[in-house]
Amino acid sequence: QQQVKQSPQSLIVQKGGISIINCAYENTAFDYFPWYQQFPGKGPALLIAIRPDVSEKKEGRFTISFNKSAKQFSLHIMDSQPGDSATYFCAASISTGTASKLTFGTGTRLQVTL
Amino acid sequence: EAQVTQNPRYLITVTGKKLTVTCSQNMNHEYMSWYRQDPGLGLRQIYYSMNVEVTDKGDVPEGYKVSRKEKRNFPLILESPSPNQTSLYFCASSWGAGGHGFNEQFFGPGTRLTVL
């Protein structure tokens, strides 16, 4: 059972364009939604995260948009750069439980072309 | 440098030959976890540990064992590896495990395992 569904599986964007990756979740108890960025040969690293009490969080060129009623959240990368080429994972967890278990999406491979 | 280390980084083995993948963190983190990454399936949690001597199953624990005898180390043991355990494995750690809010998980560089 995939509790966090991520799309698209892969994405090609021109330099300077906007990259958009979408995720949908089922468990309404999730209350923490991070995005992880993974470069080839490396482990994932936290990029940006949001809690459901806000609808948007922006850090530099990266923005998370959150729609609690639709149970969806998305990552927007503005002015995409070749250095953004990586695999992106959305995730969700219940942070107030006794064990913070991250449930990951299936990943999106982003390629930013020149 | 704060980091999570894993060894070996690459391993090719045969069915049934016991192996251990080591994981160590130098950040004094309480929470440690193992994930496997497979194409199209993302990252799935195998086991996690809230603290020394406290471990629990994740989503895909079958065929794996773990132990947490020291705070810094969290080895993953495959007692009788099978080809379906061919995967990319990541160890991760974080400061806390919940209650006070979720904490960023720091991932190791990964171990690519092939079981023939």
Q: Say if CB A33 and CB A91 are below 8 A apart.
A: yes
Closest Cα of chain A to B67: distance in Å?
Answer: 17
Alpha carbons within 13 A on the beta-carbon side of B88: 17
> Is residue A6 packed enough to be buried (19+ CB in 10 Å), middle (13-18) or exposed (0-12)?
buried
Residue B61: pLDDT over 80: yes
Apex CA A78: angle with CA A74 and CA B43, to 5°?
Answer: 40
CA dihedral B18, B82, A107, A83 (to 10 degrees): 50
Apex CA A35: angle with CA A110 and CA A44, to 5°?
Answer: 75
Q: Do B102 and A99 touch (CB under 8 A)?
A: no
Q: Say if CB B90 and CB B35 are below 8 A apart.
A: yes
Q: What is the pLDDT of residue A26?
A: 93
> Pick from B41, B97, B107: which is nearest to A43 by CB?
B107
Q: Do A89 and B98 touch (CB under 8 A)?
A: no
Nearest residue in chain B measured CA to CA from A98: B98
Instruction: Sort strands A72-77 and A103-104 into parallel, antiparallel or unpaired.
Output: unpaired
> Pick from A9, A32, A43: which is nearest to B109 by CB?
A43
> Pick from A44, A101, A105: which is nearest to B45 by CB?
A101
How much is the CA Rg of chain A, to the nearest whole Å?
A: 14
CA-nearest of A83, A76, A65, A64 to A15 is A83
Q: What is the pLDDT of residue B95?
A: 81
Q: What is the pLDDT of residue B101?
A: 46
How far is Cα B13 from Cα A69, in angstroms, rounded to an integer? 48
Q: What is the pLDDT of residue A98?
A: 58
Residues of A in contact with B96 (CB under 8 A): 100
Residue B1: pLDDT over 90: no
How far is Cα A88 from Cα A105, in angstroms, rounded to an integer? 9
Q: What is the pLDDT of residue A52?
A: 87
Q: Say if CB B11 and CB B21 are below 8 A apart.
A: yes
> Pick from B35, B99, B109: which is nearest to A96 by CB?
B99
Q: Do A99 and B50 touch (CB under 8 A)?
A: yes
How far is Cα B109 from Cα B91, in angstroms, rounded to an integer? 8
Residues of B in contact with A102 (CB under 8 A): 43, 45, 105
Low-confidence ranges of chain A (pLDDT < 70): 1-2, 95-100
Residue B4: pLDDT over 90: yes
Nearest residue in chain B measured CA to CA from A42: B109
Q: Return the amino acid letter for A14.
A: Q
Q: Is residue B2 very low, low, confident or very high in pLDDT (cuts 50, 70, 90)?
A: confident
Q: What is the pLDDT of residue B97?
A: 58
SS3 at position A93:
strand
The whole-chain average pLDDT of chain B stands at 92
For the segment B71-94, the average pLDDT, to the nearest whole number, is: 97
Q: Is residue B100 very low, low, confident or very high in pLDDT (cuts 50, 70, 90)?
A: very low
Residue B34: pLDDT over 50: yes
Q: What is the pLDDT of residue A99?
A: 59
Q: Do B42 and A41 touch (CB under 8 A)?
A: no
Q: Do A46 and B41 touch (CB under 8 A)?
A: no
How far is Cα B87 from Cα B92, in angstroms, rounded to an integer? 16
Residue B96: pLDDT over 90: no
